[in-house]
Amino acid sequence: MTPVSDDTSPRPEKMFPVSWDQFHRDSRALAWRLNDAGPFEAIVAITRGGLVAAAVVARELGVRVIDTVGVASYNHQDQGTIKILKTVSPDILKIGGGTGKGILIVDDLVDTGKTARVVRDLMPQAHFATVYAKPMGRPLVDSYITEVSQDTWIFFPWDTGLSFQPPIRDGAA
């Protein structure tokens, strides 16, 4: 079954599988890029995709205060209505006088920017970082490592299992 996105994003035509090793390298590269952007008093990971990247970034930057914001917009293949399932704790929201300054928001991907807009509105002056960025969402983040086209579906390692993939020349996506 081909992944489908919402009406504001082109139907994904390209597939980009990301291994655990690649995601770890890209998350460390993000930390390297963020090293001079801080200091950060806390990290807010956007669940679920941002949890793994946030753990790597927190380790590399020595940040011990980590919170989450739970936002649901995707099932395994469709983007739908944004719902905040869990908000950031009041103690974290007080950082920077309630503006978010000194907070690092981490997610795996910014796609259309809908999730990013909701989270950015909670902490407008936070530094927003993602491992991957698509053109529609890229203006909402401050730092990212790899840009992929809007019509690319990223298969993250926590969403896939190991299996044989036919060669591209044989028609594989």
User: For position 51, what pLDDT does the model report?
Assistant: 97
Overall average pLDDT of the 48-73 stretch:
95
User: For position 173, what pLDDT does the model report?
Assistant: 60
Any domain includes 8: no
Any domain includes 98: yes
Tokens of 113: 């920017």
For the entire predicted model, the pTM comes to 0.85
pLDDT of residue 79 exceeding 90: no
Give residue-wise pLDDT tens across range 135-153. Answer: 999 999 999 999 999 999 9
User: For position 12, what pLDDT does the model report?
Assistant: 65
Q: Which CATH number fits the domain that encloses residue 70?
A: 3.40.50.2020
Any domain includes 91: yes
Overall average pLDDT of the 102-115 stretch:
96
What does the chain come to in residues?
A: 173
Question: Domain limits at 90?
Answer: 23-156
Cβ-Cβ contacts under 8 Å for 100 (sequence gap 6 or more) = 93, 122, 123, 124, 125, 126
Residues classed as catalytic: 107-108, 111
Quote the CA–CA distance of 92 and 30 in Å, as a whole number: 22
Amino acid identity at 167: P
Number of domains in the chain: 1
User: For position 67, what pLDDT does the model report?
Assistant: 98
Overall average pLDDT of the 92-113 stretch:
96
User: For position 1, what pLDDT does the model report?
Assistant: 32
Tokens of 54: 């946030």
pLDDT band at 73 (very low <50, low <70, confident <90, very high): confident
Any domain includes 168: no
3-state secondary structure at position 157: helix
Any domain includes 104: yes
Shortest CA distance to 95 belongs to which of 48, 38, 36, 50?
38
